[in-house]
Structure 1
Amino acid sequence: MTSDVTPATHSNEPHGAGIAGRLNWLRAGVLGANDGIVSVAAIVVGVAGATSAVAPILTAGVAGLVGGAISMALGEYVSVSSQRDSQHALIAKERRELAEMPEQELAELSALYEAKGLSADTAVTVARELTAHDALSAHLEAELGINEEDVVSPWQAAGASALAFVIGAVLPMVAILLPPAQLRVPVTFVAVLAALALTGIISARIGGSHWLRPTLRVVIGGAIALAATFLIGTLLGTSGMV
Structure 2
Amino acid sequence: MTEPTHDEAHGGALGSRLNWLRAAVLGANDGIVSTAGLVVGVAGATQERAALLTAGLAGLLAGSLSMAAGEYVSVSTQRDSEKAALAAEKRELKEKPEAELAELTGMLQARGLSREVAREAAEQLTERDALKAHARVELGIDPDALADPWHAAWASFAAFTVGALLPLLAIVLPPAHWRVPVTVVSVLAALVLTGWASARLGAAAPGRAVLRNVVGGAVAMAVTYAVGTLLGVAGA
Q: TM-score, length-normalised on structure 2? A: 0.91
Cα distance in 2 between the residues matched to 1:15 and 1:95? 26
- Structure 1 residue 116 and structure 2 residue 111: aligned? yes
Determine whether 1:221 maps to 2:216. yes
Aligned residues: 236
Distance 2:20 2:125 in 1: 30
- For 2:144 and 2:203, the matched residues in 1 are separated by 22
1:184–1:14 CA distance, 2 compared to 1 (3 A):
farther
**1:78 and 1:14, CA in 2 relative to 1: closer, same or farther beyond 3 A?**
farther
Question: SS in structure 2 opposite 1:52?
Answer: coil
Match of 1:48 in 2: 43
Amino acid at match of 2:143: E
Matched, 1:31 2:35: no
Corresponding residue for residue 8 of structure 1: 5
The superposition leaves residues 29-48 of structure 1 with CA deviations (integer Å, 9 ceiling, x where unpaired) of 22221111111111100010
Cα distance in structure 1, aligned partners of 2:3 and 2:127: 23
CA contact (8 A) 1:21 1:150 kept: no
**Cα offset, 1:23, TM superposition:** 4.2
Q: How far apart in 2 are the matches of 1:38 and 1:223?
A: 9
Question: Which residue does the alignment assign to 1:99?
Answer: 94
Q: Is the 8 A contact 1:24 1:157 kept in 2?
A: no
Structure 1 gaps of 5+ residues are: none
Q: Does residue 157 in structure 1 map to residue 155 in structure 2?
A: no
What is residue 82 of structure 1 aligned with on the other side?
A: 77
| Cα distance in 2 between the residues matched to 1:212 and 1:100 | 55
TM-score, normalization by structure 1: 0.89
- Show structure 2 runs of 5+ residues with no match: none
Alignment of 1:172 with 2:167, yes or no, is: yes
The structural deviation recorded for 1:211 is 2.6
Residue identity (%): 57
> RMSD of the TM alignment (CA)?
2.1
Report the CA distance between 1:18 and its aligned residue.
4.3
Amino acid at match of 1:134: D
Residue among 125, 131, 141 paired with 2:126 = 131
SS at match of 2:47: coil
- Name 1:187's counterpart in structure 2: 182
